[in-house]
């Protein structure tokens, strides 16, 4: 297997998606564990998600999530009435997502599977969804092609990637952590960017982290008939040192220019 994929599996086997200090002291894999992850995601770190992602959009439809993690978003789509399917190539994610669904008395089809070779038929899904996943694989182009393949004609691919021209990438990661704190020289750019993920140190744990511009993503989505973009996820804390000088009320205004996520809504 490609070294970047092995590093991704290592990262999310040790630090499953959604874990952090907020899960310290909570029984691992318990109902409370999953509910705390969900609350922290939607109410603390990523409040934008329920504003931009309509988890009820696929009601009565068949939806696939690429990189389901611990199952937080897939469960939200399920609760919104979708017939849900999920793939992930980290065994611990697969195990935890199944546990999450069982504890919430919900059903979904979950598979251990690489998004570069999706184990479902062509023209099978009404929606394909992926949040914060495809920038961690060297096969981003292939994964997008696979998402296109499994979508029905007229189906929609909704996914988010890290954005190059964001405050977090340019100011916090590259300028402050990279140049001012010297991590760019000690770790190199790839090692530096890996530290954006919880628990990664850029040395022993070094997941691939890529960023994309709108123009690059438009090119990658050229097979789709219609594509719209949104930018989201900006908080003043993403601008280290001086961010506290920005009034909190300005965050929604600055978000379309400075946000960390580029979200694509692509129709096949």
Q: What is residue 164's DSSP assignment?
A: T
Structural domain of 105: 3-163+213-235+258-267
Report yes or no on 115 lying in a domain: yes
Write the pLDDT tens digit of every residue in 73-84.
999 999 999 999
pTM for the predicted model, two decimal places: 0.96
CA–CA gap between residue 233 and residue 210 (Å, rounded): 17
* C-beta of residue 67 within 8 angstroms of C-beta of residue 160: no
Report yes or no on 208 lying in a domain: no
Neighbouring C-beta atoms of residue 98, cutoff 10 Å: 15
Report yes or no on 179 lying in a domain: no
Report yes or no on 188 lying in a domain: no
Written as six digits, the tokens of 205 are 């744990």
Written as six digits, the tokens of 10 are 């290592």
Report yes or no on 128 lying in a domain: yes
The per-residue pLDDT for 125 is 98
The per-residue pLDDT for 240 is 85
Report yes or no on 67 lying in a domain: yes
* C-beta of residue 178 within 8 angstroms of C-beta of residue 192: yes
Kindly give the pairing relationship between strand 62-66 and strand 151-162. Answer: unpaired
Ranges of the chain whose pLDDT falls below 70: none
The per-residue pLDDT for 241 is 82
Report yes or no on 240 lying in a domain: no
Write the pLDDT tens digit of every residue in 103-132.
999 999 999 999 999 999 999 999 999 999
* C-beta of residue 135 within 8 angstroms of C-beta of residue 4: no
**Non-local CB neighbours of 81 within 8 Å, separated by 6+ positions:** 56, 58, 59, 60
CA–CA gap between residue 237 and residue 233 (Å, rounded): 11
Query: How many CA atoms lie within 13 Å of 29's alpha carbon, on the beta-carbon side?
Result: 9
Report yes or no on 248 lying in a domain: no
Q: Tell me, what CATH number does 77's domain have?
A: 3.40.50.150
Kindly give the pairing relationship between strand 226-232 and strand 261-267. Answer: antiparallel
Number of domains in the chain: 1
**Non-local CB neighbours of 124 within 8 Å, separated by 6+ positions:** 62, 64, 150, 151, 152
CA–CA gap between residue 256 and residue 213 (Å, rounded): 13
Neighbouring C-beta atoms of residue 236, cutoff 10 Å: 17
């Amino acid at each position: 297997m490609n070294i970047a994929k092995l590093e991704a599996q290592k990262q999310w086997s040790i630090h499953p998606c959604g874990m952090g200090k907020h899960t310290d002291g909570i029984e691992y894999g318990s109902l409370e564990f999953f509910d705390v992850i969900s609350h922290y995601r939607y109410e603390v770190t990523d409040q934008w998600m329920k504003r931009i992602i309509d988890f009820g959009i696929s009601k009565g439809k068949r939806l696939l999530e690429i990189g389901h993690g611990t199952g937080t978003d897939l469960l939200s789509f399920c609760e919104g009435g979708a017939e849900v399917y999920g793939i992930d190539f980290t065994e611990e994610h697969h195990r935890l997502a199944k546990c999450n669904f069982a504890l919430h008395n919900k059903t979904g089809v979950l598979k251990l599977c690489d998004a570069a070779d999706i184990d479902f038929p062509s023209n099978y899904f009404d929606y394909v969804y992926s949040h914060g996943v495809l920038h961690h694989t060297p096969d981003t182009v292939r994964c997008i092609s696979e998402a296109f393949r499994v979508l029905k004609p007229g189906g929609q691919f909704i996914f988010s990637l890290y954005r190059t021209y964001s405050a977090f990438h340019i100011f916090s990661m590259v300028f402050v952590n990279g140049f001012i704190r010297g991590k760019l020289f000690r770790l190199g750019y790839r090692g530096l960017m890996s530290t954006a993920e919880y628990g990664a140190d850029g040395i022993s744990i070094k997941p691939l982290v890529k960023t994309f511009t709108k123009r690059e993503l438009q090119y990658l989505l050229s097979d789709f008939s219609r594509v719209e973009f949104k930018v989201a996820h900006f908080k003043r804390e993403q601008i280290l040192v001086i961010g506290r000088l920005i009034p909190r009320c300005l965050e929604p205004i600055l978000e379309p220019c400075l946000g960390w996520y580029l979200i694509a809504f692509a129709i096949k």
